[in-house]
């Protein structure tokens, strides 16, 4: 157990390095290596999950993390603010553990989905593995600098993965993605610097997220809760929280900063959509939970209503837009916007069940949305087209495909027995039980369940029911049912979605104690 987190974190990077020295002509080698790297990552995270102590009741954030690895990384004296100390500091708690497992799982699905990529396979797999490392890194980093490093370093591989292997408007989409998310991350950077200048470990400033969570502020620093200092007439902590909301909100994505998402998804190749929807959005949500809410609980309480309203708007607005789409993938992309709104509502509720619900919904959406993109990818792979009006009655021609489609569409619309329902239910339980905002937020979010049913069912009606029809006769020959590889991806996802729907404690047992402790921070924070 000693260095498992490091192995999980850096192993793909190592393999990527090895790939640099393999000639590009042998393209099949790369996918095998990728697969091996991510599979080992998955095995290691499963080992971690088994060894994780679910019953650990934390006393402080310092004690909440397990498998901690800590080493000094950068230590230099930087003038008046003392030494700058950046640590290589890893660890997982009940919140990040399920996310780590989810990441390695979805990344594996992504590799399988990239099996057919022949063009520039070397570059693709190197970038993919770098992406893998940085995504995992985001979830396990306990040093803000390290977190930020990973957070930013997701952008560059993603930019190229969309930009080189994407669809026709890939250049536009990738640059939009990059600019948007960079903007968001720079907001986070500013807050990071502020925190660094305010939080001390002993007597030197530190980037340690754990210290920030535990509120080890030096007195009279900008972000010290006791400091009376105002910035443009606002408390620095309030501004910092808003910055974080914007920064992670872009990544999440929350309305109105969501417009990069549909474009990025539509242009991205299927495996990248899978990773983007399954994991990158979760990084945004994780950042909100861990950093915005974890470090600024006192501000979060005041802003929870605001966050929840953004969430409700995302749910309804995203859902409405999904309903208006004719491109299957774009529809799924907007549904992601809608679903991530639930995460915001759960966070806004500041209740234990709401937080658990948000986390659960993150995991659940992390399984459902990749599957939905795979499903959209199936039809696109076969025909090069995804317009709904070009297909009809696919149920007759492709029954297995239709079965999986139905499972994930219904999971998406929150059918009980599948994981989507549990997350939404818990978030709503939180919303209705919250003392932070009015009942109407809960009622409006509940409406989201009807909206999601509307667009998913309409899609089923248009594409899968009715008489069999495809627009171009050339497509006819390729309208075969799922291949073994496609099933290989969808079956594990299906099993997990059902298992989590029936037995949500699969995830929640990991997070329960951590989240209970988390919620206590808010009651302490309150006057």
Partner 1 sequence: MNLIDQLNGILADLQGVWAESALMLGAIAVLVLGLARSGRAIKALFLIVLIFACYLNLTNGLRGDILSGSLFLSVHTSTFGILFLITASFLLLFKRGDKHSTEFYFFILSMLTGSLLMMKANSLLIIYLSIELVSFSSYILTNFSFKKKGFEASIKYLLFGAICSAIMLFGLGIIYGSTSTFLVSEWNSETFSALLPQVGFILLLVGIFFKISIAPAHLWVPATYQEAPADATAFMSIVPKLAALVLLKRIFEGQIFTSNHWIYSLVLGLGILTIVAGTLGAFRQSNARRMISFGAIAHSGFLLPLTLIQSTTASESLWYYSVVYAIMNMVTFYLLDVHERNGIVEIDDYKQTSRSVWIGAIFSLILVSLVGLPPLAGFTAKLFLFTTLWEGYSLLENSQMLWYLIVAVIATVGSLFFYLRIPRAIFLSQSTDNQSINLNLSTKILATLFCIVLLLLFFAPQLVMEAQQLLNNVHE
Partner 2 sequence: MDGVGTKWWPYKHKGSVNEVLIISLLFLPLAGGVFGMLFKNTSYSIGGIGLSFAASLLVIINSIEFNTAIQWLPDYSLGIKLDSTAAILICLVTLISLLVHTFSLEYMREDDGKHRYFAKLGLFTFSMIGLLLADHLILLFVFWELVGLTSYLLIGFWYKKDGIPASARLSFMVNRIADVALLAGILMINNSGSLNISELSGTWLFLPSILVAIGAFGKSAQLPFSGWLTKAMVGPTPVSALIHAATMVAAGVYLLFRVAPFMHESTLIIVALTGTFTALYGGLCALFQHDIKKVLAYSTISQLGYMVMGIGVGAGSASIFHLFTHAFFKAGLFLGAGAIIHYLHQVTKADAQDMRNMGGLKKALPWTYSTFLVCALALTGIPFFSGFMSKEGIIIAGWEWAEQIGAWAYIVPDVGLITAFLTALYVGRMVLLVFYSENRLEEKIVAFSENLSLKVPLIVLALGSFWFVFDWNPFAHESRLSGYWSSTPSHSSDSISLIVMILSTLLAISGLVLAYSFFKPGSNYEQSFSKLEVGKFKLAFNGFYLVALYQSIGRGFSRFSQFTFAVDQMVVDGFIHFVGVGSVVISKVIALIDRFMVDGPVNLCGHISAFVGKRVAGLSSRDIQTQLAWLLAGVILILSWILFF
Q: Which of partner 1, partner 2, none sits in contact with 60, Cβ below 5 to 8 A by type?
A: none
Strands (E), 151-248: 200-201, 204-205, 230-231, 234-235
DSSP label at residue 22: S
Q: Is 505 in the site for partner 2 (CB under 8 A)?
A: yes
Q: Tokens for 419, please give them.
A: 């994981």
Stretch that binds partner 2, among 370-378, 475-483, 485-493, 501-509 (CB under 8 A): 501-509
Which residues inside 424-463 make contact with partner 2, applying CB under 8 A? 425-426, 428-429, 431-433, 439, 442-443, 446-447, 449-450, 453-454, 457-458, 460-461
**Binding pattern to partner 2, positions 123-162, x when CB under 8 A?**
----------------------------------------
DSSP string, 271-332: HHHHHIIIIIHHHHHHHIIIIIIHH-HHHHHHHHHHHHHHHHHHHHHHHHHHHH--BHHHHH
**Binding pattern to partner 1, positions 109-128, x when CB under 8 A?**
--------------x-----
Q: Which of partner 1, partner 2, none sits in contact with 108, Cβ below 5 to 8 A by type?
A: none
Interacting residues of 125 by C-beta distance below 8 A, sequence separation 6+: 16, 19, 30, 31, 33, 34, 114
CB nearer to partner 1: give 78 or 439. Answer: 78
Which residues inside 250-289 make contact with partner 2, applying CB under 8 A? 255-256, 258-259
Please state the φ and ψ torsions of residue 220, each to the nearest 5 degrees.
65, 25
d(CA 165, CA 172): 13
d(CA 98, CA 89): 19
d(CA 168, CA 163): 10
Please count the residues of the chain: 527
Q: Is 218 in the site for partner 1 (CB under 8 A)?
A: no
**91 SS3 class:** strand
Q: Is 147 in the site for partner 1 (CB under 8 A)?
A: no
Q: Which of partner 1, partner 2, none sits in contact with 353, Cβ below 5 to 8 A by type?
A: partner 2
Minimum distance, C-beta of residue 152 to partner 1, in the bound complex (Å):
5
Strands (E), 159-199: none
Interacting residues of 349 by C-beta distance below 8 A, sequence separation 6+: 304, 308, 355, 427, 430, 431, 433, 434, 436, 437
Q: Is 108 in the site for partner 2 (CB under 8 A)?
A: no
Stretch that binds partner 1, among 1-9, 191-199, 395-403, 464-472 (CB under 8 A): 191-199
CB nearer to partner 1: give 170 or 329. Answer: 170
d(CA 454, CA 315): 13
d(CA 278, CA 113): 13
Q: Tokens for 35, please give them.
A: 């697969």
The H or E element containing residue 70 is: strand 66-77
**Binding pattern to partner 1, positions 225-264, x when CB under 8 A?**
----x-xx--------------------------------
Residue from 30, 52, 159, 355 that binds partner 1 (CB under 8 A)?
A: 159
Minimum distance, C-beta of residue 165 to partner 1, in the bound complex (Å):
10
d(CA 85, CA 200): 10
Residue from 181, 221, 356, 383 that binds partner 2 (CB under 8 A)?
A: 356
Q: Is 187 in the site for partner 1 (CB under 8 A)?
A: yes
CB neighbours of residue 416 within 10 Å: 12
Residue from 7, 115, 153, 458 that binds partner 1 (CB under 8 A)?
A: 153
Please check whether residue 266 is in contact with residue 173, taking contact to mean a CB–CB distance below 8 angstroms.
Answer: yes
Phi-psi sector, 417: left (phi>0), alpha (psi -120 to 50), beta: left
Q: Tokens for 358, please give them.
A: 């948000």
Please check whether residue 430 is in contact with residue 446, taking contact to mean a CB–CB distance below 8 angstroms.
Answer: no
CA angle, 287 as apex, 433 and 305 as ends, to 5°?
Answer: 35
Stretch that binds partner 1, among 224-232, 355-363, 411-419, 424-432 (CB under 8 A): 224-232
Q: Is 468 in the site for partner 2 (CB under 8 A)?
A: yes
Interacting residues of 453 by C-beta distance below 8 A, sequence separation 6+: 413, 414
Q: Pick the closest to residue 32 from 137, 129, 101 (CA basis).
A: 129
CB nearer to partner 2: give 5 or 431. Answer: 431
Residue from 9, 178, 241, 409 that binds partner 1 (CB under 8 A)?
A: 178
**Binding pattern to partner 1, positions 52-91, x when CB under 8 A?**
---------------------xxxxxxxxx----------
Which residues inside 21-50 make contact with partner 2, applying CB under 8 A? none
DSSP label at residue 371: H
Q: Pick the closest to residue 507 from 445, 419, 441, 446 (CA basis).
A: 419
Stretch that binds partner 1, among 90-98, 183-191, 384-392, 493-501 (CB under 8 A): 183-191
CB nearer to partner 2: give 259 or 478. Answer: 259
Q: Which of partner 1, partner 2, none sits in contact with 461, Cβ below 5 to 8 A by type?
A: partner 2
Q: Given the rule CB under 8 A, which residues bind partner 2?
A: 176, 255-256, 258-259, 317, 320-321, 323-325, 353, 356, 393, 395-396, 410, 415-417, 421-422, 425-426, 428-429, 431-433, 439, 442-443, 446-447, 449-450, 453-454, 457-458, 460-461, 464-468, 503-505, 508-509, 512
Q: Given the rule CB under 8 A, which residues bind partner 1?
A: 73-81, 123, 148-149, 152-153, 155-156, 159-160, 163-164, 170-171, 174-175, 178-179, 182-183, 186-187, 189-190, 193-194, 196-197, 221-222, 229, 231-232
């Amino acid at each position: 157990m000693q260095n498992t987190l490091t192995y999980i974190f850096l192993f793909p990077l190592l393999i990527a390095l090895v790939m640099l020295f393999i000639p590009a002509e042998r393209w099949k080698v790369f996918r095998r290596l990728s697969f091996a790297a991510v599979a080992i990552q998955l095995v290691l995270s499963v080992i971690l999950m088994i060894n994780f102590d679910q019953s650990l009741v934390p006393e402080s954030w310092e004690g909440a993390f397990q498998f901690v690895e800590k080493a000094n990384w950068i230590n230099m004296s930087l003038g008046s603010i003392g030494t700058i100390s950046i640590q290589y500091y890893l660890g997982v708690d009940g919140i990040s553990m399920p996310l780590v497992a989810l990441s390695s799982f979805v990344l594996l699905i992504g590799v399988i989905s990239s099996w057919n990529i022949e063009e520039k396979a070397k570059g693709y797999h190197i970038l993919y593995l770098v992406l893998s490392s940085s995504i995992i890194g985001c979830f396990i980093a306990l040093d803000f600098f390290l977190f930020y490093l990973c957070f930013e370093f997701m952008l560059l591989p993603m930019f190229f993965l969309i930009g080189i292997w994407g669809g026709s408007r890939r250049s536009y989409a990738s640059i939009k993605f990059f600019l948007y998310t960079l903007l968001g991350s720079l907001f986070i950077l500013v807050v990071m610097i502020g925190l660094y200048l305010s939080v001390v470990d002993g007597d030197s400033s530190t980037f340690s997220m754990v210290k920030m969570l535990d509120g080890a502020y030096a007195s009279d620093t900008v972000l010290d809760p006791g400091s009376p200092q105002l910035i443009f007439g606002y408390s620095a902590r309030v501004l910092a929280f808003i910055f974080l909301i914007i920064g992670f909100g872009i990544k999440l994505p929350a309305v109105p900063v969501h417009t990069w998402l549909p474009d990025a998804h539509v242009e991205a190749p299927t495996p990248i959509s899978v990773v983007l929807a399954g994991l990158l959005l979760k990084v945004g949500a994780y950042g909100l939970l861990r950093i915005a809410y974890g470090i600024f609980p006192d501000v979060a309480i005041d802003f929870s209503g605001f966050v929840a309203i953004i969430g409700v708007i995302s749910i309804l607005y995203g859902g409405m837009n999904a309903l208006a789409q004719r491109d299957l993938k774009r529809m799924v992309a907007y549904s992601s916007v809608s679903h991530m709104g639930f995460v915001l509502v759960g966070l806004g509720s500041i209740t234990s069940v709401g937080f658990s619900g948000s986390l659960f919904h993150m995991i659940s959406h992390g399984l459902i949305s990749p599957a939905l993109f795979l499903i959209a990818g199936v039809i696109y792979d076969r025909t090069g087209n995804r317009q709904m009006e070009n297909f009809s009655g696919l149920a007759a021609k492709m029954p297995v495909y239709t079965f999986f489609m139905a499972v994930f569409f219904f999971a998406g619309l929150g059918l009980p027995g599948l994981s989507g329902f549990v997350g939404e239910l818990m978030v709503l339980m939180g919303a209705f039980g919250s003392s932070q905002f009015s009942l109407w937020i809960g009622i409006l979010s509940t409406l989201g369940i009807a909206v999601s049913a509307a667009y998913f069912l309409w899609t089923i009606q248009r594409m899968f029911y009715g008489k069999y029809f495809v627009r171009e006769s050339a497509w006819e020959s390729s309208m075969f049912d799922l291949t073994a590889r496609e099933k290989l991806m969808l079956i594990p996802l299906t099993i997990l979605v059902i298992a989590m729907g029936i037995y949500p404690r699969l995830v929640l047992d990991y997070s329960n104690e951590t989240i209970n402790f988390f919620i206590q921070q808010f009651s302490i924070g309150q006057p």
